[in-house]
């Protein structure tokens, strides 16, 4: 037998061996239907990897429902509504263990969800007007929690009680949670602080979190009218990615509040007439803001805060704001924001602002009336050791002409739905931009090649690629987003 044939036989043997092992692991898997919370808890406690537990249609009320079991990576335990959306829980629920999934449940009344474990998934669920401050709490020590294709709406409790809609407490120990394809909408303004739609926070909330990487990804979610407070998504940990989300008419911003080396990339921000709408606000070191589209924001596109001596606000250092498009925002770039208790602090240092399109005119043209200065130095303090490259600004610049910011027409073209895209006359970036691999593809996922168009989108615009998210592509009944 020649060598190639021996290798093929060996590979076939491995496949057969895997099939036998897999079959042995799932042969005892069962499907059980339950009609009471007591029966649900009992069935979950006895569940084996691969079991499917169906919760019958109906309203379930009572004391806290505690679910605890251990599945496996290849054979998780599935807790599923018999009919999606028809099994309605009115009491608190906790999910503990490893490799469990709850699917298709609806939560109303006083029914917050607490997650504590590894490989736990919450999918295709709906939460509406839950009367608890925190709706979903992922506890510290959890790993690889996935929350996807859910809808969270109408958080009226904000008018009476504080609490984040979704709170993930981490230790910067490679938690790698994944929050995706969810629809968050109608989160009313709360009375002060602590009303974030999503909070990703290091345990004990240190001002400057200890070293480590969390590695959580928040992507492809739709946020509409999420007005709880100034922070829609609040990041207080290291090494996370906020990408490919769409924000509409939200009073607030994505805020990198504490922590370092986070990325906000490929998101769509639309003010839609909301005066308090913002894009990204940052503190900390090594933050990357790339390939985002900011349109009609009433507050700002990107804002940087001064640092404070007590590190309540950590100085912005080595931030990179690159290949973004800002259209008709009141301020594209705010530098040196301050908390009222800290009238002045340390200015942002050693930041790179490159290959951005700043278009502030109300009609998108250089001759149009500016909605506000493109760059605003809040305290009048000059940032320290900044680098500006290959930017173009149309409208009131707000600062003296600076090398690296060309004042002129970016030659944008507005599509039928009002989006501003580059034309063949839009300038290209000279670069290079070492260490920023994320700009090798544009906002639409199109390879840029050697000639990189400035702004978030590469010319020629790829009409076959997906654009901003809409309701039908997120939440419990989501379908795959079609090409734009």
Position 213 scores a pLDDT of 98
Q: Which of these three, 88, 111, 134, is where a domain ends?
A: 111
Do residues 144 and 86 both lie within one domain?
Answer: no
Q: Which residues contact 339 (CB under 8 A, 6 or more apart)?
A: 305, 308, 312, 313
Q: Residue 67: which of 33, 126, 128, 117 has the closest Cα?
A: 117
Phi then psi dihedrals of residue 408, to 5 deg: 175, -175
Do residues 267 and 158 both lie within one domain?
Answer: yes
Looking only at the bridges linking them, the beta strands covering 178-180 and 217-219 are: parallel
Q: Which residues of 147-172 are buried (b: 16+ CB within 10 A; e: fewer)?
A: bbbbbbbebebbeeebbbbbbbbbbb
**pLDDT tens for the chain, residues 1 to 484:** 444 444 344 334 333 333 333 343 445 679 999 999 999 999 999 999 999 999 999 999 999 999 999 999 999 999 999 999 999 999 999 999 999 999 999 999 999 999 999 999 999 999 999 999 999 999 999 999 999 999 999 999 999 999 999 999 999 999 999 999 999 999 999 998 999 999 999 999 988 999 999 999 999 999 999 999 999 999 999 999 999 999 999 999 999 999 999 999 999 999 999 999 999 999 999 999 999 999 999 999 999 999 998 888 999 999 999 999 999 999 999 999 988 888 788 999 999 999 999 998 655 555 556 678 999 999 888 899 999 999 999 999 999 999 999 999 999 999 988 999 999 999 999 877 766 767 889 999 999 988 999 999 999 998 777 799 999 999 999 998 876 5
Q: How many domains does the chain have?
A: 2
- CA triple 273-279-284, angle to 5 deg: 155
Query: Does 478 reside within a domain?
Result: no
Query: Does 9 reside within a domain?
Result: no
Q: Residue 70: which of 44, 52, 41, 40 has the closest Cα?
A: 44
Query: Does 142 reside within a domain?
Result: yes
Three-class SS state of 436? coil
Position 363 scores a pLDDT of 53
Do residues 88 and 150 both lie within one domain?
Answer: no
Do residues 146 and 289 both lie within one domain?
Answer: yes
Position 12 scores a pLDDT of 41
> What is the distance between the alpha carbons of residues 102 and 73, in angstroms, rounded to a whole number?
15
Query: Does 139 reside within a domain?
Result: yes
| Nearest-10 Cα torsion for 81, 83, 89, 92 | 20
Query: Does 12 reside within a domain?
Result: no
Domain with 208 in it: what CATH number? 2.160.20.10
* Domain residue limits at 384: 118-473
Three-class SS state of 331? coil
Do residues 194 and 227 both lie within one domain?
Answer: yes
Do residues 312 and 408 both lie within one domain?
Answer: yes
Do residues 86 and 155 both lie within one domain?
Answer: no
Do residues 94 and 242 both lie within one domain?
Answer: no
- Model-level pTM? 0.92
Position 251 scores a pLDDT of 98
> What is the distance between the alpha carbons of residues 259 and 131, in angstroms, rounded to a whole number?
31
Q: With the C-alpha atoms ordered 436, 438, 440, 444, is the resulting torsion angle positive or negative?
A: negative
Element at 20 (helix H, strand E): helix 3-26
Do residues 345 and 443 both lie within one domain?
Answer: yes
> What is the distance between the alpha carbons of residues 333 and 350, in angstroms, rounded to a whole number?
16
> What is the distance between the alpha carbons of residues 164 and 170, in angstroms, rounded to a whole number?
15
Q: Residue 118: which of 77, 153, 60 has the closest Cα?
A: 77
Do residues 378 and 394 both lie within one domain?
Answer: yes
Position 435 scores a pLDDT of 64
Query: Does 168 reside within a domain?
Result: yes
> What is the distance between the alpha carbons of residues 172 and 160, in angstroms, rounded to a whole number?
32
Q: Which of these three, 111, 140, 169, is where a domain ends?
A: 111
Position 183 scores a pLDDT of 98
C-alpha distances in angstroms, 12 versus 1, 24, 432? Answer: 15, 18, 48
What does the block give as tokens for 239?
Answer: 């090494």
Quick: pLDDT tens for 293-321. 999 999 999 999 999 988 889 999 999 99
Do residues 384 and 294 both lie within one domain?
Answer: yes
Q: Which of these three, 61, 81, 111, is where a domain ends?
A: 111
Query: Does 10 reside within a domain?
Result: no
Query: Does 136 reside within a domain?
Result: yes
Q: Which residues contact 308 (CB under 8 A, 6 or more apart)?
A: 339, 342, 345, 346
Do residues 65 and 136 both lie within one domain?
Answer: no
The distance from CA 229 to its chain's CA centroid, rounded to whole angstroms, is 16
C-alpha distances in angstroms, 85 versus 48, 55, 76, 126? Answer: 25, 11, 21, 7
Q: Assess contact for 473 and 455: CB atoms under 8 A.
A: no
């Amino acid at each position: 037998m020649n060598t190639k044939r021996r290798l093929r036989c060996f590979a076939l043997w491995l496949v057969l061996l895997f099939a036998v092992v897999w079959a042995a692991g799932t042969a005892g898997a069962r499907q059980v239907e339950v009609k009471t919370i007591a029966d649900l808890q009992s069935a979950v406690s006895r569940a084996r990897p691969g079991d499917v537990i169906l919760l019958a249609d109906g309203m379930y009320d009572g004391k806290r429902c505690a679910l605890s079991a251990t599945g496996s990576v290849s054979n998780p335990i599935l807790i599923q509504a018999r009919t999606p959306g028809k099994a309605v829980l009115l009491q608190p629920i906790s999910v503990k263990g490893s490799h469990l999934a709850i699917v298709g449940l609806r939560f109303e009344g006083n029914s917050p969800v607490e997650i504590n474990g590894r490989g736990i998934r919450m999918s295709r669920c709906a939460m509406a007007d839950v009367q608890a401050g925190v709706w979903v709490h992922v506890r510290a020590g959890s790993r690889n929690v996935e929350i996807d294709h859910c809808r969270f709406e109408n958080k009226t409790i904000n008018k009476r009680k504080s609490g984040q809609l979704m709170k993930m407490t981490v230790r910067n120990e490679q938690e790698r949670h994944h929050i995706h394809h969810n629809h968050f909408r109608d989160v009313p303004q709360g009375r002060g602080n602590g009303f974030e739609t999503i909070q990703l926070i290091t345990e004990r909330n240190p001002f400057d979190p200890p070293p480590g990487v969390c590695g959580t990804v928040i992507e492809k979610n739709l946020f509409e009218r999420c007005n709880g407070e100034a922070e829609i998504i609040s990041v207080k940990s290291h090494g996370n990615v906020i990408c490919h989300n769409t924000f509409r008419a939200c009073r607030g911003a994505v805020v990198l509040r504490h922590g370092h080396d986070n990325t906000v990339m490929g998101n769509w921000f639309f003010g839609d007439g909301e005066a308090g709408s913002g894009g990204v606000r940052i503190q900390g070191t090594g933050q990357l803001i790339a390939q985002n589209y900011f349109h009609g924001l009433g507050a700002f596109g990107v804002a940087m805060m001064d640092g404070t001596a007590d590190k309540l606000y950590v100085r912005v250092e080595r931030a990179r704001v690159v290949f973004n498009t800002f259209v008709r925002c009141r301020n594209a770039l705010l530098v040196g924001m301050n908390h009222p208790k800290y009238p002045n602090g340390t200015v942002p240092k050693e930041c790179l602002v490159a290959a951005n399109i700043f278009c502030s005119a109300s009609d998108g043209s250089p001759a149009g009336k500016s909605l506000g200065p493109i760059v605003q130095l809040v305290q009048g303090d000059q940032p320290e050791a900044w680098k500006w490259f290959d930017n173009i600004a149309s409208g009131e610049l707000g600062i003296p002409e600076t090398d690296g910011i060309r004042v002129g027409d970016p030659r944008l073209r507005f599509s039928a739905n009002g989006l501003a895209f580059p034309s063949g006359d839009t300038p290209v970036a000279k670069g290079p931009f070492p260490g920023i691999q994320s700009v090798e593809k544009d906002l639409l996922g199109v390879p840029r090649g050697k000639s990189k168009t400035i702004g978030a989108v590469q010319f020629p615009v790829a009409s076959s690629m997906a654009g901003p998210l809409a309701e039908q592509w997120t939440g419990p009944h989501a379908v795959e987003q079609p090409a734009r």
